[in-house]
Amino acid sequence: MQATSIDSSAREAGDVRLDGDVLRKSSMSFADLRALPLVEVEAVFACRKSGVRRHRFAGPLLVDVARLAQPTFNVTKRKDRLRFLLSILGRDGHHAVCSWGEIDPEFAGVAAVLGTRMDGLDLDDQGPHLVVPGDRCGGRHISAVTEIRIWSDDQLWSR
C-alpha cells in the first residue's frame, strides 16, 4: 500500500465523515451522533507520563455509527464482515484501526464508542472521541474524530 497524506483540518468540530467501501458515504453532525442510542463506558488510561486516569464516556457505539454507512459486506455470509476494517482519524492527524469483528456484538463485541460526553461534560467544542475500553494507555483514544473509513482487506491480499 502506498502512504497518503492526511488532511483533517477542513472539518468542523463534531462532524464525522463516513467513507470507504460503503454504500452510503455521508457526514454526521454531533446532533446526529446524539440521536443514536447512547452507551456509557469507563476508560482507564495507564500512561507512563500521567499515571492512571479514569474517565466515563457516553456516546453511540462505533458499530452502530459504522452500520449507518452500509458497508459493502455480503449480509448473507456472516463471516464476510470479518474482512472489514475501520480506520478512524482525528483532527490532529492521529489515527488508529479497529476490526469489524472486534466491535461486532456477534463476534468480540468490544463496546468502542464515539464519545459525545466525557465525565458528564459535553464534548461539542472538541468533537467526538473514539474510546476503546480495555486498550492499555488509551492507544486508540482519538480526540476530535473527523472521519471513519470502512474498507475490506481485499486490497491487502491482491498483490
pLDDT in tens, 71-104: 999 988 989 999 999 999 999 999 999 999 999 9
Backbone angles phi, psi at 133, to 5 degrees: -55, 140
Number of helices and strands in the chain (H, E): 3, 11
- State the pLDDT at residue 58: 98
Q: Which residues of the chain have pLDDT under 50?
A: 1-6, 8-10
CATH topology of domain 16-154: Sulfite Oxidase; Chain A, domain 2 (3.90.420)
Q: DSSP string spanning 46-60?
A: EETTTEEEEEEEEEE
Domain locations in the chain? 16-154
Q: Considering the entire predicted model, what is its pTM?
A: 0.88
End-to-end, the C-alpha distance of the chain in Å comes to: 10
- State the pLDDT at residue 1: 41
